[in-house]
């Protein structure tokens, strides 16, 4: 049996779903000769660790209890301190303890540090852990969109890094691009719809629904963040575009990307509350969207919120696209990526499928962890 020790950072929707997947896949992994040995789980304030990370792991019952406790985001893992099955550490010990675990296990069994947080503060611990010789798996986009100096350190040991779920959740976007690039097939253009939320919004507006109504529906369906402007700003798509652009060799930072927001600055979070934006602000945008949809339709086109990476160009925003193209046919919250290369010059390689959701993303993270198995004894 091959054992892969795991420490998870982040107990939000994706992190909890990952723990549940690990527990429910025990028999499947056993048949494959693998066991994921979860030795630690942390949120932003506390870390739960097995009493002896060499010989013990957090029990499945405890992992499910972590999921139950963190279902309420305000609850703390400190409540597990009296269980007797684990040790609990809180800030400022948290980061040091993770690095200590990596140093201990890195010399013998190895470790997979999994970042399912949404924090920009994890880059330091990720770099330390990779330097020690352990592996890192990311669903968190922010470490890969930090300044180039930190990014270069993180990806300097590519065999020890997996981050498929940072761009397309469970879709094979990063793996496909890596295969093309390593085979000497240069990628010269990427265009894609990489936000399930904005994909849904644009396809619903295309059907004649007011922009304001669609945004409110997307929020009620759970497609958006609590403040829909987090999605409508385009920043999430910009981070994904930056990850892809850097993968293609571009030396870009986030502020180098042209980003089209779907709302004006005067409707931003610093000016309007969420309630004001949804109550009176967003409806003021209906007429402009209606006119843009009509203009595109008159030319046989549709509007899509896309990222475009071509040469030194990297931008995200609304574009008019042919209705019969892969992106034009997009409906709902699916992601679509068109990749143009030497081998795919006219008819692009198209990657399409569910690109959002906790379940899909967690499945992608789990696949990334298992993909590292040859690096473990």
Residue 357 is assigned to a ligand binding site: no
Residue 40 is assigned to a ligand binding site: no
Residue 314 is assigned to a ligand binding site: no
Q: Residue 337: in which H helix or E strand, if any? A: strand 334-341
The single residue of 240, 295, 299, 323 carrying the catalytic annotation is 240
Residue 96 is assigned to a ligand binding site: no
What is the rounded distance in angstroms from the CA atom of residue 113 to the CA atom of residue 132? Answer: 12
Rounded (5°) CA angle 347-353-355: 120
The DSSP code sequence of 338-350 is: EEEESSSSSS-EE
Q: Residue 33 CB: number of other CB atoms within 10 A?
A: 9
Active site residue 240: yes
Spatial neighbors of 172 by CB under 8 A, at least 6 apart, are 164, 351
Please tell me what DSSP assigns to residue 281: I
Q: Which of 210, 215, 197 is nearest to 290 (CA)?
A: 210
Residue 141 is assigned to a ligand binding site: yes
Residue 33 is assigned to a ligand binding site: no
What is the rounded distance in angstroms from the CA atom of residue 151 to the CA atom of residue 103? Answer: 22
Spatial neighbors of 364 by CB under 8 A, at least 6 apart, are 139, 164, 165, 168, 169, 170, 171
What is the rounded distance in angstroms from the CA atom of residue 79 to the CA atom of residue 30? Answer: 31
Spatial neighbors of 94 by CB under 8 A, at least 6 apart, are 42, 45, 46, 47
Residue 206 is assigned to a ligand binding site: no
Residue 10 is assigned to a ligand binding site: yes
The annotation places the binding site for NADPH at 141
Could you list the active site residues?
A: 240
- Which residue ranges are tagged as binding site? 10-15, 141, 225
Q: Which residues does the annotation place in the binding site for NADP(+)?
A: 10-15
């Amino acid at each position: 049996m091959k054992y892969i020790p795991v420490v998870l950072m982040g107990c939000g929707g994706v992190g909890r779903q990952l723990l549940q997947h690990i527990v429910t896949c025990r028999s499947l992994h056993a048949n494959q000769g693998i066991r994921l040995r979860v030795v630690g789980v942390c949120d932003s304030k506390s870390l739960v660790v097995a009493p002896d990370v060499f010989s013990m792991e957090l029990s499945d019952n405890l992992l499910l209890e972590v999921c139950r406790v963190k279902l309420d985001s305000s609850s703390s893992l400190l409540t597990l301190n009296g269980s007797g099955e684990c040790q609990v550490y809180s800030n400022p010990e948290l980061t040091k303890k993770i690095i200590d675990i990596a140093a201990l296990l890195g010399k013998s069994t190895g470790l997979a540090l999994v970042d399912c947080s949404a924090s920009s503060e994890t880059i330091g611990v990720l770099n330390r852990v990779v330097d020690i010789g352990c592996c890192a798996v990311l669903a968190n986009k922010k470490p890969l969109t930090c300044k180039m100096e930190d990014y270069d350190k993180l990806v300097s040991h590519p065999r020890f890094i997996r981050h498929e779920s940072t761009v397309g959740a469970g879709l094979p976007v990063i793996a496909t691009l890596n295969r093309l690039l390593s085979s000497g097939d240069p990628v010269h253009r990427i265009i894609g719809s990489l936000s399930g939320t904005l994909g849904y919004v644009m396809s619903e507006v295309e059907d004649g629904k007011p922009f304001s109504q669609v945004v409110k529906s997307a929020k009620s369906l759970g497609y958006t963040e609590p403040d829909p402007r987090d999605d409508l700003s385009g920043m999430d798509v910009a981070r994904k575009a930056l990850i892809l652009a850097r993968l293609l060799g571009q030396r870009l930072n986030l502020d180098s990307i042209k980003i089209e927001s779907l709302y004006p600055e005067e409707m931003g979070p610093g000016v309007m509350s969420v309630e004001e934006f949804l109550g009176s602000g967003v409806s003021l945008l209906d007429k402009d969207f209606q006119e843009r949809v009509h203009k595109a339709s008159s030319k046989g086109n549709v509007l899509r919120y896309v990222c475009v990476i071509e040469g030194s160009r990297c931008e995200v925003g609304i574009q008019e696209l042919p209705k019969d193209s892969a992106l034009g046919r997009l409906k709902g919250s699916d992601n679509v990526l068109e990749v143009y290369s030497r081998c795919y010059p006219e008819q692009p390689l198209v990657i399409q499928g569910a690109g959002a959701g906790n379940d899909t993303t967690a499945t992608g993270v789990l696949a990334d962890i298992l993909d590292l198995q040859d690096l473990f004894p």
